[in-house]
Amino acid sequence: MKIQYLGTAAAEGIPAIFCECETCKRTKLLGGKNIRTRSQAVIDDRLLIDFPADTYAHYLKWNIPLDKIKACIITHSHSDHLYPAEIQMRSAGFAHINSGKPLTFYAAESGYNMLADAVKKYNISENDINLKLIKPFESFETEGYVITPIKATHDEKSSPVIYAIEKDEKSLLYANDTSELCEESMACLKALERPFNVISLDCTEANRPIVPYIGHLNFNKCAAIRDEFIKDGIANDKTIFVLNHFSHNGINVIYDEFEKIVRDKGFVTSYDGLIIEY
């Protein structure tokens, strides 16, 4: 299984659109891995996770085979993860697609409703875009993966989920836009009976000592979650832990600084374009 991170920032991006803070100014000067676009990832070049407005930029930069991809799973309906107007570009006259199969979006209630509104507004055929409503804790199969959406602790109105993605012996937990999981979600994870190969966590606040709201994490909380996951058998000492989804408001969030701080503690810092194959 291969995950490629396409976008690794929180909603504003780094540098943040319209921002004059020191982090954003320094990021622009440093460039490289310090530049982060909005959240998206792709598994094995065939399963897309999230659909932000930056999808087009990712397609250009990483040559993602968007014409071939037939499935996209949506974590929640915030605009840095779902930009429904763009689906019009996959309809007749805007794209010429030879494979014949629609692109299917799997989304929980809020994202599903936003996508359904776009389908209606732009009169998109189900031969081009297909929608499936998913529910937390109800596994489904697509493109050869068994996918379990698990309730995230994030803005309820956005119907937030994280995803356990399994194929044969390989597994990935893709978990951002969540703070610590509720009991029901922890029970669901334990019931999957895996140490996951890769666990990708929200680290929106980086080294900020306190997370001032519910819905995201900082590094200290990620480290505590790793300990808990190992204790519960959700992870083991071979699990690759990746920190992802960074905000310019985080402390030490510049990649070049943060990566050094967490590397010794056994964490990988995501960056746009990072590929992990396992």
Q: Which of 21, 95, 224, 275 binds Zn ion (CB under 5 A)?
A: 21
Q: Which of 2, 24, 146, 257 binds Zn ion (CB under 5 A)?
A: 24
How many CB atoms are closer than 10 A to CB 169? 8
Of residues 88 and 159, the one with the C-beta less far from Zn ion: 159
Q: Which of 1, 6, 9, 16 binds Zn ion (CB under 5 A)?
A: 16
Stretch of 29-37, 62-70, 245-253, 257-265 contacting Zn ion, by CB under 5 A: 245-253
- As a dihedral over the C-alpha atoms of residue 105, residue 109, residue 114, residue 120, rounded to 10 degrees, the angle is 80
Of residues 17 and 210, the one with the C-beta less far from Zn ion: 17
Q: Quick one: 123 exposed, middle or buried, by C-beta within 10 A (0-12, 13-18, 19+)?
A: exposed
Q: Which of 90, 216, 221, 248 binds Zn ion (CB under 5 A)?
A: 248
> Helix H segments across 14-151?
22-30, 55-62, 109-121
- The SS3 assignment for 225 reads helix
Of residues 208 and 248, the one with the C-beta less far from Zn ion: 248
Of residues 182 and 230, the one with the C-beta less far from Zn ion: 182
Contact yes or no for 47/142 (Cβ under 8 A): yes
DSSP 8-state class, residue 234: S
Of residues 90 and 208, the one with the C-beta less far from Zn ion: 208
- The SS3 assignment for 148 reads strand
Q: Strand 275-277 vs strand 40-43: parallel, antiparallel, or unpaired? A: unpaired
Of residues 12 and 143, the one with the C-beta less far from Zn ion: 12
Question: Interface mask (CB under 5 A) for Zn ion, residues 56-85, using x and -?
Answer: ----------------------x-x-----
Q: Give how many residues touch Zn ion by CB under 5 A.
A: 8
Name the minimum Å distance from CB 206 to Zn ion: 13
Question: Interface mask (CB under 5 A) for Zn ion, residues 172-211, using x and -?
Answer: -----x----------------------------------
For residue 140, the surrounding DSSP H or E stretch is strand 140-142
Identify residues 140-179 at the interface with Zn ion (CB under 5 A): 177
CA atoms within 13 A on the CB side of 251: 11
Distance of CA 50 to the CA centre of its chain: 6
Stretch of 16-24, 40-48, 83-91, 102-110 contacting Zn ion, by CB under 5 A: 16-24
CA pair distance 109, 96, nearest whole angstrom: 30
77's tokens:
């309906």
Please report, as ranges, the residues that interact with Zn ion according to CB under 5 A.
16, 19, 21, 24, 78, 80, 177, 248
